[in-house]
Amino acid sequence: MVCSIIAITLLALGLASNIIGRFLYPLFYDHSCPRAQEIVRNVVAKAVAKEPRMAASLLRLHFHDCFVKGCDASILLDSSGSIISERRSNPNRNSARGFEVIDKIKAAMEKECPHTVSCADFLALAARDSTVLTGGPSWEVPLGRRDARGASLSGFNNNIPAPNNTFQTILTKFKLQGLDIVDVVALSGSHTMGNSRCASGDQNLFFLDFVSPIKFDNNYFKNLMANKGLLNSDEVLFTKNGESRELVETYAYNQELFFQQFAKSMIKMGNISPLTGYRGEIRQDYRKINA
């Protein structure tokens, strides 16, 4: 009888360990680093107060990270003998930014609880906090990701939607990540902040949302309805597909509904192929893999 109880207990513990190792959950650092979320929030708040467009840059880092082999902080790695940095890819060249903020988050995190919180997790938290600090929705961020020990330059060039992509190409790239047309439109709403260069080759930067470029709101969708989207990849959401057009109209008229779906889609995107359990590592230096 005692043996049976022990066997059942061990089985239960094994299953629990397996579940914890496979899935993310918001309370992951509650015991190992209780102030983790507070630390990220404080650093991001100071950065956004100093430079409002930093919010869009941090949100973009998380998006680009997740679309290449999952949310694993591979975008943060510098080039080394065995790694070609994803920042050298076409979508990131001369545009990926916010690394000075990541430096400050990492330094503060290592001081509070060394070698505990993954870079992948604080990228996800920084994206959420950037959204909230500019007027957007909040959500509970599932945590427990670990950091990649490699990068994929080809993955970046092939997986990230480009400004001149057709609607079908964009949708296909999202579907390859387990996302659907609702996620395409909702996540594209992050273009309510930030700026970009035109596909024509003009090197000047233009606001993606010229009405309220440093505020997270639904003006992006209103601009699309007025045929004032900056990029082709924005315009096609309203002009090339009936379902996406209807979603654009819905979010343009109902900001609360857009906020609700954006939060859901961010959680969904944040769950793309995370490294958990014993896979990956907790980087000591966010720019390079552990020795």
Give the SS3 label for residue 182.
helix
Give me the residue label for tokens 């089985």. Answer: 11
Mean pLDDT of all residues in 22-26? 87
- What's the pLDDT tens digit per position in 206-251? 455 556 678 999 999 999 999 988 788 899 999 999 999 999 999 9
Domains (range + CATH), the chain: 26-270 (1.10.520.10)
CA nearest to 32, candidates 48, 20, 14: 20
Dist CA 276 CA 102 (whole Å)? 21
pLDDT at res. 196: 53
pLDDT of res. 209 = 52
Show binding-site residues.
65, 68, 70, 72, 74, 86, 161, 191-192, 209, 217
Model confidence pLDDT, tens digit, residues 38-87: 999 999 999 999 999 999 999 999 999 999 999 999 999 998 888 887 77
Hey, CA dihedral for 276, 121, 264, 60, is it positive or negative? Answer: negative
Catalytic positions, please? 64
> What is the spatial distance between Cα 230 and Cα 224, in angstroms, rounded to a whole number?
9
Residues in the annotated binding site for Ca(2+): 65, 68, 70, 72, 74, 86, 192, 209, 217
288 in Cβ contact with 77 (< 8 Å): yes
With the CA atoms of 61, 62, 68 and 70 taken in that order, what torsion angle do they form, in degrees rounded to the nearest 10?
160
* Mean pLDDT of all residues belonging to the chain: 86
pLDDT, residue 81, reads 80
* Cα 224 from chain centroid (whole Å): 23
Crossing angle for the helix pair 54-66 and 99-112, nearest 10 degrees? 80
Task: Quote the pLDDT of residue 214.
Answer: 82
**CA 82-83-84 angle, 5° bins:** 135
